[in-house]
Amino acid sequence: MNPHLSQLHPYPFEKLAQLKQGIIPPADKAHIALSIGEPKHATPEVITSALLENMAALGSYPTTKGLAELRVAISDWIIRRFQVQADPETQVLPVNGTREALFAFAQCVVDGQQNALVLMPNPFYQIYEGAALLAGAEPYYLPTLEDNQYLPDFDSVSEQTWQACQLLYICSPGNPTGMVIDQATHEKLINLAIKYDFVIASDECYSEIYADEHNPPQGLLQSADAMGHSSYKNCVIFHSLSKRSNAPGLRSGFVAGDADILSKFFKYRTYHGCAMPVPTQYASIAGWQDELHVLENRQFYRDKFKAVTEILSAVCHVKQPPASFYLWLKTEVDDTDFAQQLFAQQNVTVLPGSYLSRDVNGVNPGKNHVRMALVAPVPECVEAAHRIKNFINSLK
């Protein structure tokens, strides 16, 4: 067996299930789950229709590189969204969602025999950590603390650490914080990546859910192009239809960026056996070509954030983050106690922040925070907010 398997931590939702085990919540309150970031809005008809209309294509093996039409649709979307070019032949590759690609990417680019470090934000999407460990690397955690606007303090990283770094995962908009990395920080990281020869994997799967319609989150390739790095050296972005288009079950996304890195990742993937089914590709083309459903989707989330923050602001400090569909709520009591008691008293499930984090120098940056995913319909989110308000009042 792979010896690194023993290093993997239990997934946060395994811990959450144990935390709730044996508790019987009030029977007169329907359960409301705010713990899992799974979109609950309807998948748009433009995607489902394209999927059904192309089911006959199940009779053909898909290619790893995907249909040319899909890569062109993705390239065109990148141009519209970020105002930068991405060659559909060399700089775009379809993947089966960002989770699969973020994990596989580390297996491809990390040389585990070189005492490699893989840097990542903390709290983090646990796939980053698992990918690093199974690639034979050591995860290096960058705390995202309130004092630094819940973003990693890249200036505190030593030169020795940058020298050992082979891969840097960044997540912007952030999970769980919803904070966005700006162009100046992107430029700093790109310069470091070139100087110390590491790869930046930018997880941008929440980039299409944001508060200000006139201020969409900056993309890594967008920043690279602004610097004159149109080759996107050492830069790769990861995008998905899961959050943007409410299609988590479609398992469809893409990677784009440095052509040399993508050529090696393509070679890896030909052996990995992860080609996207052809009907899924046609559905994805329809998804990337349509923006009307995305505009509507963003407004749904704005409505929920507005309603929920207005209710909770009476009992705690809360505001809508720049992007994503999470509230990263600071708690006055231990985050695991908060989550456990909230479930016991109000039948609402949230995720303790410490389950998304690792201790660094004796500090767990997720401690005394809970993640709330506002994925349910507006009335359900409003009901959850009222219950949480009542619960917080009971703690005073």
pLDDT, position 134: 96
CATH-assigned architecture of domain 9-37+293-394: Alpha-Beta Complex (3.90)
Q: Environment class of residue 80 by beta-carbon count within 10 Å: exposed (0-12), middle (13-18) or buried (19+)? A: exposed
Residue 110: CB atoms within 10 A of its CB come to 22
pTM for this predicted structure: 0.97
pLDDT, position 72: 98
pLDDT, position 114: 84
CATH class for the domain made up of 57-290: alpha beta
Q: Quote the CA–CA distance of 129 and 4 in Å, as a whole number.
A: 12
Helix (H, G, I), strand (E, B) or coil at 205: coil
Q: Quote the CA–CA distance of 346 and 153 in Å, as a whole number.
A: 37
Q: Which residues of the chain have pLDDT under 50?
A: none
**Residues whose CB falls within 8 Å of the CB of residue 310, separated by 6 or more in sequence, listed in order:** none
If residue 117 lies in a helix (H) or strand (E), which one and from where to where? strand 117-122
pLDDT, position 113: 83
Write out the residue limits of the CATH 3.40.640.10 domain(s) in the chain.
57-290
Write out the residue limits of the CATH 3.90.1150.10 domain(s) in the chain.
9-37+293-394
Q: How are beta strands 253-257 and 92-95 bridged, if at all?
A: antiparallel
Count of residues in the chain: 396
pLDDT, position 63: 96
Q: Environment class of residue 72 by beta-carbon count within 10 Å: exposed (0-12), middle (13-18) or buried (19+)? A: middle
pLDDT, position 273: 86
